[in-house]
Amino acid sequence: MNVAVFKNIKLNIFLILSFIIPFAVYMGTLAPSVTFFDSGEFLTATASLGSAHSPGYPLFLMYAKPFTWLPLGNIAFRINVATAFSSSLACLVVYILTTSLLKKETLLKDDRFNRISIELAGLAAAFSFAVTPRLWLQSNHDKPYPLLAFITAVIFYLLLKWQEQYREGSERPSYIYVCTFLAGLSMGVHQTIVLLLPAWFLMIVMTDWRMITRLKELILTTAFALLGFSIHLYLPLRALSKPLLNWGDSKTVDQFLWHFLRKGYPSEPPVRDMALLWAQIRAFNISREFTWLGAVLTIIGLLYLWQKNRTVFVAYLVTVAAFLLVIAGYFNTPLEVIFLTEEFFTPLYLLTAVVIGIGLFTILRYAILTSRLPERITAPVYGVVAVLFFSLPAALCAVNYFENDQHNNYIAFDYAANSLRTVPQNSVMFTWGDSGAFPLWYLQGIERLREDVDLPHTPHLVFDWYIESMPRLFKESNLRKFDLASLGPESALRIAITENIGTRPVYIDFSTRYSVEFKEYQPIQRGIVYRIRKINEPSGIPDVSMWDNYSNRGIMEKLSFLDLDTGKAILIYANSYLEVGEFLAGINRSPEAIMMLRKAELISPDIRISADQVRTRYGLGR
């Protein structure tokens, strides 16, 4: 069956293009190294075959690992290629799904025109999905969601093949077994796969409700699902080997469940009003991803499915409802992090692209019915069809290209490298915030930069498994004697600083400086990080020499790509220049102060008001 499933997929130029064109676009805009958010963590976990943040993402890490063996670029670039590859596979399956749903349609007596029209509709759907802002953003660096979208699309295709076989009088439960195996397996990519289960269940029941009454098939279905889910054995097996990044340390049943069930995340939901609810619902936004034209085409495609394949129609709407009820309704995501939940909807956008392709074909069919075409279709007609189908993906590409071009995005790499190069030998630098910590983990753990520096992540100091993962720093620490969960990360940070400040240079990053109130210690700026000193210790003259050694790619000159944390990093540079400029002005080093203030304004024009206030206060010119 594993060969027969795809026997009707003919290798043709359209199928090849549905993969090659998206892959070429992604490679042309691919990030050359580590980026912000979860990037540095995923890169480190993949390269070391460790464990990422809860729930671990074992399948994604195992999928991306072979790409680290490619003989091009650095490790980060190679893993970014893995995501571009999985996104392109997802686009290919969009083409396959669209053409499968349309394959019995006829427009004219010209079979060649019918076939090419269907294939063009599938290609247009694949291209439209490829250049949506959400998928494109995920495809340029290491993300698990494109791989999840690909697997879910394969499951939908297998269910369509099962339906087809059933309606032709041939019962093939093996299709269902493969689907449940893939569903269990894809839990190792992301747990939002469960939100698709109601739709798949309805597709089966609406086709053959007797499937759920057959004990043998239910047992085999469950067995295959558990076999796929067994991918999670990776987590305790790798934890026993103590990899470089071993988030959660899942070597025991309790730790595995803590990790898999995401027990380490705050569970206090915000108070929800209608404005927040609307913002949560709008995280799924077809018009933003595909424009309003795409939204109209979605409606047209759904009307087609209502007439031609009602099970797929119901499956799509049920999937939308399940995602919104759980992600918007149950999760109750705070406003400031709703952008993170937008990534969860990637499989929904894949299905929407298929529906849009069907909508385009439906419009073509209507145009043919209301016009007179010759029996033999000529080249100009094909040209008109191509323009009709590819106007949407071309417009999406033009609109989204600039903001998703990351081929020059070294900001996270340079931010981490500049931070590490700032501190002296054998330092301890405490970080706060994923984007502040993860690029440093990658540079130190994988690129082997400044391995003498310890990089404790302050929010993790409340976890025993994390304390145990840093024996060089915390082997004899008093942190082991306290109930850290009750103390909180700020108290844990103060204890850790007290234990180290007398023996090693102690530093904190910018986020820690402005996240924690320091009463017994004084943070002293040193570039974009801060040295911690005792209150009675002389501060000395600030060392500004490191600024000349900083790499500022994308900081002084503007990048087209600018996500939330990249923008924050740029503001950190601007505020750091402003801060050191103000200090230099206060000790009468006016020329240096003026230069620092100018650089702050060059990085962020919005900081000009603050810079002018410093100039006025100290009588500085421009």
Model confidence over 501-535: pLDDT tens digits? 888 999 999 999 988 888 888 888 888 999 998 88
Pair 367, 452 in one domain: no
pLDDT tens-digit series, residues 37-72: 899 999 999 999 999 999 999 999 999 999 999 998
Burial of residue 367 (CB within 10 Å: 0-12, 13-18, 19+) is middle
Pair 117, 199 in one domain: yes
Q: What percent of the chain has pLDDT over 70?
A: 96
Pair 358, 268 in one domain: yes
Query: Taking the C-alpha atoms of 452, 453, 456 and 458 in order, what is their torsion angle to the nearest 10 degrees?
Result: 170
Pair 85, 166 in one domain: yes
Question: What is the distance between the alpha carbons of residues 156 and 164, in angstroms, rounded to a whole number?
Answer: 12
CB atoms within 10 A of CB 184: 21
Boundary-marking domain end, from 372, 404, 436: 404
Rounded to two decimals, the pTM is 0.92
Pair 390, 418 in one domain: no
Question: What is the distance between the alpha carbons of residues 136 and 346, in angstroms, rounded to a whole number?
Answer: 11
Q: Is the pLDDT of residue 96 over 80?
A: yes
| H helix count then E strand count, the chain | 28, 4
Residues 60, 165 contacting (CB under 8 angstroms): no
Question: What is the distance between the alpha carbons of residues 334 and 327, in angstroms, rounded to a whole number?
Answer: 11
Pair 195, 340 in one domain: yes
CA distances from 207 to 203, 314, 344, 499 (A): 6, 12, 28, 66
Pair 521, 420 in one domain: yes
Boundary-marking domain end, from 380, 404, 428: 404
Residue 523 pairs with which residues in a beta bridge?
532
Pair 388, 308 in one domain: yes
Question: What is the distance between the alpha carbons of residues 600 and 578, in angstroms, rounded to a whole number?
Answer: 6
**Which amino acid appears at position 9 of this protein?**
I
The lowest-confidence range among 105-119, 288-302, 306-320 is 105-119
Beta strand 521-526 pairing with 506-509: unpaired
Element (H, E) at 523: strand 521-526
The lowest-confidence range among 10-24, 36-50, 474-488, 505-519 is 474-488
Q: What is the pLDDT of residue 213?
A: 83
Residues 462, 481 contacting (CB under 8 angstroms): no
CB atoms within 10 A of CB 149: 31
Pair 324, 177 in one domain: yes
Pair 464, 374 in one domain: no
Question: What is the distance between the alpha carbons of residues 163 and 211, in angstroms, rounded to a whole number?
Answer: 12
- When pLDDT is averaged across residues 411-420 and rounded to a whole number, the result is 93
Boundary-marking domain end, from 371, 387, 404: 404
* Rounded CA Rg of the chain: 28
Q: What is the pLDDT of residue 11?
A: 60
Q: Is 527 left (phi over 0), alpha (psi -120 to 50) or beta?
A: left
Residue 342's nearest CA partner among 137, 147, 36, 57 is 137
Listed in sequence order, the residues at least 6 apart from 192 whose beta carbon sits closer than 8 Å to its beta carbon are 148, 323, 327, 344, 347
Using pLDDT thresholds of 50, 70 and 90, give the confidence band for residue 9: low
Listed in sequence order, the residues at least 6 apart from 262 whose beta carbon sits closer than 8 Å to its beta carbon are 54, 55
Of 416 and 539, the one with more pLDDT: 416
496 is in which domain, residue-wise? 411-618
Give how many domains the chain has, as a whole number: 2
Per the structure block, which two tokens stand in for 583? 């200090």
CA distances from 551 to 39, 181, 229, 368 (A): 20, 48, 44, 59
Question: What is the distance between the alpha carbons of residues 512 and 457, in angstroms, rounded to a whole number?
Answer: 10
Per the structure block, which two tokens stand in for 456? 């404790």
CA distances from 570 to 26, 153, 516, 524, 622 (A): 25, 38, 21, 20, 22
Q: Is the pLDDT of residue 307 over 90?
A: yes
Pair 365, 254 in one domain: yes
pLDDT tens-digit series, residues 376-391: 677 777 888 888 899 9
Question: What is the distance between the alpha carbons of residues 88 and 608, in angstroms, rounded to a whole number?
Answer: 44
Pair 343, 433 in one domain: no
Residue 347's nearest CA partner among 197, 523, 451 is 197
